[in-house]
Amino acid sequence: MFSASAEPDSLSRRLQEIHRRLVAEYGSIISFLEYNSPFELLIGVILSAQTTDLQVNKVTPVLFARFPDAAALAGAARAEVEEIIKSTGFYRSKAAHIQGAASRLVKEFQGEVPQSMSALTTLPGVGRKSANVIRSHVFGLPAIIVDTHFGRVMRRLGLGKAANADALELELLSVVPEDLQSPLSMLVNKHGRVVCLARAPRCCNCVLRDLCDYAAREQEVRV
Ligand code: SF4
């Protein structure tokens, strides 16, 4: 059985192999939110809390046609913003977050999306996961992006143990090579959405089956 406490060379080979197989399955470019600028990605990421990326992608073209940049969104009437984003759920708090973030961009960052983790996480509605999405996609920086899908799959594979998202990120930062961090984040996330499902993982159809702690345990139980 494989675990993150395995020898570093063995761990590195496992990670490379997982990456190779997932690229073969899903391709090397994985994107869930549609955007045309760092500002649009920032707003999309905030809106994606507690809803699907598909739902966010339905409302953001309308939102950005009406309010194309941070200054426009910051100065918008709250009621109009709420109406546009209503279908994403929690629309009152999300409207407050995206307008608060837009306002902060204007006041503190010359209207631009900042790069550093410390600056990004000062924006309303932006935690480490969202900041890592931006750092990875906008600035091309290495980042471990821990959402529910990624966390579940990595724990099942035996690559991380921490139950808390931030703790899992730190745990994985020490074992996943920098060049694999961003691509693996997106690929594993995709795998969690289509194969390694929360309630019933499709292990029989999984290309990572022979590399997975969970599958090995299930096999042991059966024999
Ligand atoms: S073998 Fe099963 S538990 Fe392991 S990654 Fe694949 S679907 Fe998930």
147 is catalytic: yes
Whole-structure pTM value: 0.90
pLDDT in tens, 60-88: 999 999 999 999 999 999 999 999 999 99
Confidence check: pLDDT of 193 > 90: yes
Checking if the pLDDT of 8 tops 80, the result is no
Split at pLDDT 50, 70, 90, the class of 11 is: confident
Q: Which helix (H) or strand (E) holds 55?
A: helix 53-66
Measured CA to CA in angstroms, residue 71 lies from 113, 124, 183, 200 at distances of: 12, 16, 32, 45
Q: Return contacts of 212-215, CB within 8 angstroms, 24+ apart.
A: 212/2, 212/156, 212/157, 212/158, 213/1, 213/2, 213/3, 213/156, 213/157, 213/158, 214/156, 214/157, 214/158
Gap from CA of 210 to ligand 1 centroid (Å): 9
Is 129 annotated as catalytic? yes
pLDDT for the residue 46? 98
What is the atom index within ligand 1 of the atom nearest the CA of 203? 2
pLDDT of 29 over the 90 cut: no
* 59 close to 88: Cβ distance less than 8 angstroms: yes
38-126 under CATH 1.10.340.30, yes or no: yes
CB 153 near ligand 1, within 6 Å: yes
**pLDDT confidence bin for 10, thresholds 50/70/90:** confident
Q: Which CATH number does the domain 8-30+144-222 belong to among 1.10.1670.10, 1.10.287.3510, 1.10.3720.10, 1.10.101.10?
A: 1.10.1670.10
89: nearest Cα among 47, 58, 44: 47
Distance CA 66, CA 115 (A): 26
Residue from 58, 107, 147, 166 carrying the catalytic annotation: 147
The pLDDT confidence band at residue 32, using thresholds 50, 70 and 90, is confident
Q: Quick: pLDDT tens for 117-157.
A: 999 999 999 999 999 999 999 999 999 999 999 999 999 99
The DSSP-derived string for 65-106 is HH--SHHHHHTS-HHHHHHHHGGGSSHHHHHHHHHHHHHHHH
Looking at 8-17, 125-134, 176-185, 198-207, which range is the least confident one?
8-17
Atom of ligand 1 nearest to the CA of 201: 7
Closest residue (by CA) to atom 8 of ligand 1?
A: 196
Residue 208 Cβ < 6 Å to ligand 1: yes
Please indicate whether residue 217, judged by its CB atom, sits closer than 6 Å to ligand 1.
no
d(CA 170, CA 175): 9
CA distances for 86 relative to 44, 91, 182, angstroms: 14, 5, 31
Q: Among all chains, which residue has been given the structure tokens 């837009």?
A: 102
Can you tell me which atom of ligand 1 is nearest the CA of 195?
A: 7
The response to whether residue 18 sits with its C-beta less than 6 Å from ligand 1 reads no
C-alpha to C-alpha distance for 125 and 44, rounded to whole angstroms? 11
Determine which helix (DSSP H) or strand (DSSP E) holds 136, and give its type and residue range: helix 128-137
Domain definitions of the chain by residue range: 8-30+144-222, 38-126
The listed range with the strongest mean pLDDT (2-16, 20-34, 182-196) is 182-196
CA 5 to chain centre: 25
From the CB of 211, is ligand 1 less than 6 Å away? no
Q: Where does the pLDDT of residue 167 fall: very low under 50, low under 70, confident under 90, or very high at 90 and above?
A: very high
Instruction: Tell me the C-alpha to C-alpha distance, in Å, between residue 131 and each of 45, 98, 115.
Output: 9, 14, 9
User: Whole-number mean pLDDT of the chain?
Assistant: 94
Least confident of 3-12, 100-109, 193-202, 203-212: 3-12
Please tell me the predicted confidence (pLDDT) of residue 6.
58
**pLDDT for the residue 222:** 75
Is the CB of residue 159 below 6 angstroms from any atom belonging to ligand 1? no
